[in-house]
Chain A
């Protein structure tokens, strides 16, 4: 049975997590990294989540195939010009590194898909390194669903290019450390790496994206959403350079909440899915009285509303008012000590390699929701 348990914090944990790279372990007086509490799961429970993620990943890939085949891009509000690139990228099987599912599960029944953060997933460093260090120090006799680090290293080895650039919005420290950690795993895979600001990416007269040294970029991992890139000037130059980008542009099909009703439509009644539709009337017609409204491209809980028969019971931060919305049946989250938990399941390549958890007093996970380490007992 899943439990929220207490443990004695390490005396020097601030220093330890900072030295390991987690410099955003708290925001003001609010902690982000939770040192003195953790989630304890049985092996069977951890494997239930692991298997669910791997199966959901396969369902999502099949959904991509159907979106491309049936030309459903307008259902995802993806414009024709962008759709052409997405389609080509999917058909060319452009290389992907990783993604994170957010699942709801209170320990009974089956886990349910909330969303797939397939384009720009963060909280990677704490999921891969920080919570493992915590386990080694606090509960070394226990296990953890966590082979993210070595899976990433192996994944980078599959790329033939020797030099990889990593770019993000430089002023955001969490993003910077996320690409630095990914670059670390690429370095350990024998690659030469460069970190840079998205704004520093150049485009040369020869038609190549370039680093600051004017050398053409061979591969670029960008922690920067494709939907933002698609409205920026250089997007028009993607053309032949498309396959150099990681995560690939076909992930726009997965990082869009419109995926949820499409998945439900393709797999009605699937035990890992919640009923989801493009209109609340359709959802209500299926007998659903409590649901969640989600903007297609919302981030960190912004724009989300929890509804009970048209009465809003909870709302995330403002934002994404202009986005079209999907309507998904409300799921039961694991709750303990007045906290609501969402499970993060980490896919590297095509397999699940890790588990993380975020908890909040609100049922909507936001950018200040706390990270909880876990152990398998």
Chain B
């Protein structure tokens, strides 16, 4: 038996201190924050803007990093130079999702750099670009007629545009031609999206907490109204479980 070589350290910013403050102050918001649908939508916008900011330089070169996520297209597998529905290396039931196929053996993380998408992948991007523009137009029409709805896909459009703008030898269709006239509007949309996310985050501590948790865990924010059934444990508690 020896005296401790260090003082028992409780992190002033750690989980115990946080729990203590919550209980002493009886703060209702100190329970686990539960994401609302608006939190989830805002977090998706924020993630897209941050991804765009982070990857803009690479995209401008027409190159896409491994596991880059594009809405409507999925995850880019740099080795296959195409988009697939699941992340590269995702594990399920002992199999690993690699280049669009479930494979038996575990593989090391992809170590190559960003790559240029194949013509087939570029075609998918152009299709997404067309669809996104259509959604943008519909949202604009709805806003003009009844002052409802607004389009929040500015970051998506910018990403499609940046990637597709460096298409090499692929010949673009009407989606690209139309997009080239809209780029100024998209930049304005993106600025307004950025401002909306910043305002929402500043006014919502719960949202900030969810974002922090999401970053720490490397997972996206999901609405509490998910697929899991809850309440199957905890029903026997009528006091302390102490022993």
Q: Does A314 contact B (CB under 8 A)?
A: no
The distance in angstroms between the C-alpha atoms of A222 and B219, with both chains bound, is 23
Contact of B241 among A163, A175, A181, A194 (CB under 8 A): A175
Q: Would A201 and B227 count as touching, CB distance under 8 A? A: no
Q: Does B180 contact A (CB under 8 A)?
A: no
The distance in angstroms between the C-alpha atoms of A146 and B1, with both chains bound, is 8
Q: Which residues of B contact A146 (CB under 8 A)?
A: 4
0/1 string, A119-139, CB within 8 A of B gives 1: 111110000110011001000
Number of B residues whose C-beta is below 8 Å from A?
A: 48
Q: Is the interface of B mostly helix, strand, loop or mixed?
A: loop
Range class of the A interface residue count:
35 or more
0/1 string, A95-135, CB within 8 A of B gives 1: 00000000000000000000001011111000011001100
Q: Which residues of A contact B11 (CB under 8 A)?
A: 184, 187-188
Contact of B243 among A195, A201, A255 (CB under 8 A): A255
Q: Does A172 contact B (CB under 8 A)?
A: yes
Task: Write the nearest CB–CB distance from A97 to chain B, whole angstroms.
Answer: 15
| Contact status of A210 and B15, CB under 8 A, knowing A43-B1, A300-B243 | no
Interface stretch (choices A15-23, A66-74, A259-267, A329-337): A15-23
The distance in angstroms between the C-alpha atoms of A163 and B216, with both chains bound, is 10
Q: Does A55 contact B (CB under 8 A)?
A: no
Q: Does A345 contact B (CB under 8 A)?
A: no
The distance in angstroms between the C-alpha atoms of A223 and B19, with both chains bound, is 16
Q: Would B216 and A184 count as touching, CB distance under 8 A? A: no
The distance in angstroms between the C-alpha atoms of A143 and B31, with both chains bound, is 38
Most buried by A among B6, B11, B16, B20: B16
Q: Does A183 contact B (CB under 8 A)?
A: yes
Q: Would A180 and B32 count as touching, CB distance under 8 A? A: no
Q: Would A193 and B15 count as touching, CB distance under 8 A? A: yes
Q: Would B20 and A18 count as touching, CB distance under 8 A? A: yes
Q: Would A143 and B1 count as touching, CB distance under 8 A? A: yes
Q: Would A202 and B23 count as touching, CB distance under 8 A? A: no
Q: Is the interface of A mostly helix, strand, loop or mixed?
A: mixed
The number of residue pairs between A and B whose CB atoms lie closer than 8 Å in the complex comes to 183
Q: Which residues of B contact A150 (CB under 8 A)?
A: 4, 6
Q: Which residues of B contact A276 (CB under 8 A)?
A: none
Contact of A23 among B1, B24, B227, B240 (CB under 8 A): B24
Q: Which residues of A contact B18 (CB under 8 A)?
A: 180
Q: Which residues of A contact B184 (CB under 8 A)?
A: none
| Contact status of A201 and B7, CB under 8 A, knowing A19-B20, A46-B1, A300-B243 | no
Contact of B19 among A21, A132, A188 (CB under 8 A): A21
Q: Would A212 and B34 count as touching, CB distance under 8 A? A: yes
Q: Would A122 and B240 count as touching, CB distance under 8 A? A: yes
Q: Would B10 and A129 count as touching, CB distance under 8 A? A: yes
Task: Write the nearest CB–CB distance from A9 to chain B, whole angstroms.
Answer: 20
Q: Would B3 and A214 count as touching, CB distance under 8 A? A: no
5 closest cross-chain pairs (CB), A and B: A202-B228, A234-B232, A198-B234, A199-B234, A180-B19
Between A and B, 22 residue pairs with Cβ closer than 8 Å are A21-B16, A23-B23, A143-B3, A144-B3, A145-B1, A150-B4, A175-B241, A176-B23, A177-B16, A192-B217, A194-B32, A195-B32, A198-B233, A199-B234, A201-B232, A204-B227, A210-B226, A214-B222, A214-B227, A215-B217, A223-B241, A299-B241
